[in-house]
Amino acid sequence: MPANVPGPAMDSNRNDAQVCVLADMLFASRVRAAGRAAGVEIISTADPARLRSAVAARPPRLIIIDLELRGHDVPALIRELRSSPATADTHILGFASHTNTRAIETARDAGAHRVLARSAFVRQLPGLIRE
């Protein structure tokens, strides 16, 4: 985690080698490749219900969310994850086009720990996966 953002507390039920990604499958493949290179297990889906199931089974240390995923209320999902005891300490990172200021602002308001422009996210991806 960056020095200015507190990391998740150590939790014996947390899988510190796991990152969950909610994104379209094409973009998620890029994240999975970065995870393989870093030795980090990546669970990816474009379905919020599957994400909920994965994090309920074993809370990850990081959840990455495409804030522009169509057909889903992403801010509501972020609020849900932040309020759930299972994921209250899980770091939530969102990304969106730098021109989509509404998605960026609503994700921050919903409680995302960090929100990046898609270009910055792609550039920083290897480091973000390892944090």
- Below-50 pLDDT ranges, the chain: 1-14
Relative to beta strand 114-117, strand 91-96 is: parallel
Return the pLDDT at 17: 58
CA pair distance 72, 46, nearest whole angstrom: 10
- Could you give the C-alpha distances from 123 to 40, 70, 83, 117, 126, in angstroms and in order? 18, 23, 30, 10, 8
CA distances from 81 to 51, 75, 90, 97, 112 (A): 10, 10, 8, 22, 9
Residue 21 lies in a domain: no
State the pLDDT at residue 15.
54
For residue 70, what are the domain limits? Answer: 45-130
Does the residue 54 lie in any domain? Answer: yes
User: Does 29 map to a domain?
Assistant: no
Q: Kindly state whether residue 56 falls inside one of the protein's structural domains.
A: yes
Structural domain count of the chain? 1
**7 is a domain residue:** no
Query: 104 lies in a domain?
Result: yes
Task: Output the domain CATH number for residue 120.
Answer: 3.40.50.2300
pLDDT (0 to 100) of residue 2: 33
Q: How far apart are CA 50 and CA 96, in angstroms?
A: 21
pTM of this prediction? 0.84
Tens digits of per-residue pLDDT, 61-71? 999 999 998 88
